Amino acid sequence: MINVIASIQIKEGRRSEFIDIFKSNVPHVLEERGCIEYVPTLDVPTGLPPQELNSNVVTIIEKWESLKDLRAHLSAPHMLTYKEKVKDLVEKMSLKILEEA
């Protein structure tokens, strides 16, 4: 299984707009071959150190059966449409692609 943590820095004041677009694409992603989980998450203030909070970051938690499935996801037609819709909302993005140790 492949785990993905995608951190997406959203432009100030645009988070709700981004989340709406993202959530409208989730059903398409969940139908993809090998998709186990695909969910947007937000920081929750807990007061626990060393937590860092950023209200402009949306973190996507993903689980895929294989790297092949993840690669296919990145070039799926609905993902290309999604990327076009959010391109002016996103400042930067980083990925962590992980497998169990």
Number of domains in the chain: 1
Say if 84 falls within a structural domain.
Answer: yes
Gap between the Cα atoms of 24 and 64, Å rounded: 20
List, edge to edge, every strand of the sheet that includes 35-41. Answer: 35-41, 57-64, 2-10, 90-98
Say if 47 falls within a structural domain.
Answer: no
Residue with tokens 């819709």: 85
CATH of residue 73's domain is 3.30.70.100
Per-residue pLDDT reduced to its tens digit, 48-91: 999 999 999 999 999 999 999 999 999 999 999 999 999 999 99
pTM for the full predicted model: 0.94
